[in-house]
A and B are shown apart, each in its own frame.
Chain A
Amino acid sequence: DAGVIQSPRHEVTEMGQEVTLRCKPISGHNSLFWYRQTMMRGLELLIYFNNNVPIDDSGMPEDRFSAKMPNASFSTLKIQPSEPRDSAVYFCASSLDRAISTNEAFFGQGTRLTVV
């Protein structure tokens, strides 16, 4: 398996524009996570899905952020409108989560977003 695949790797956009980040999880994994990493706040969990259903979106900073997982092999994180303070590296991760045990999460390479 190629691992978790994110696109694009880098995105530079102007303030006010819509930004869509994409993620393909590892085949067979049933949990998907979106994280944001900044120097100031470290790795923050934004939202996670289990079996394509959003479980906890309490980390989503504002209504400008939205995430979808239409099927087991694809997820998007959208920011509309984008602001300079959204500049960060956004990571997608996936894992196989079972009720009686837990498996490690595998991370993608991240999308570095710069909003100017």
Chain B
Amino acid sequence: EDQVTQSPEALRLQEGESSSLNCSYTVSGLRGLFWYRQDPGKGPEFLFTLYSAGEEKEKERLKATLTKKESFLHITAPKPEDSATYLCAVQASGSWGKLQFGAGTQVVVTP
């Protein structure tokens, strides 16, 4: 069975204090690994898709990396507006687009 485990559950950062979130996964053939951001009261918002080990993608202060067993979301010099819950999800081969989500990491960035 596909499994996604995110750590830590919560992270409190000072503005400018860089850190990384972890997403460990087991899947029967990875078709894609997705990172989403979710703000309170809203639906998840797409950030990145990673397809193969060694791949990296960046968007503003966020950088996602992928290995065969885990993915990291690096937040560089975060700002208060980066506060959100970050969700990781995997899509297995032959799954017709089905996503298996982790529980998320709640990030709070204080000024």
Contact = CB atoms under 8 A, between A and B. Distances in A.
Interface of A: 4, 31, 33, 42-43, 45, 48, 50, 55-56, 91, 93, 95, 97, 102, 104-110
Contacts of A108: 43
Contacts, number: 54
Interface in B33-55: 34, 36, 42-46, 49
Interface in B51-104: 87, 91, 96-104
Contact of A91 (B43, B91, B97): B43
A95 B34 CA distance: 13
Contacts of A104: 34, 46, 49
Nearest to A30: B97
B99 A33 contact: yes
Interface of B: 31-32, 34, 36, 42-46, 49, 87, 91, 96-104
Nearest to B4: A42
6 contacts: A31-B97, A33-B98, A43-B101, A91-B43, A105-B46, A110-B43
A104 B98 CA distance: 10
B104 A42 contact: yes
A105 B62 CA distance: 19
B30 to A, nearest CB: 11
Nearest to B97: A97
A97 B49 CA distance: 14
A54 to B, nearest CB: 11
B97 A50 contact: yes
Given A55-B96, A105-B46, A106-B46, 9 more contacts: A33-B98, A43-B87, A43-B101, A50-B96, A56-B98, A102-B97, A107-B43, A107-B44, A110-B42
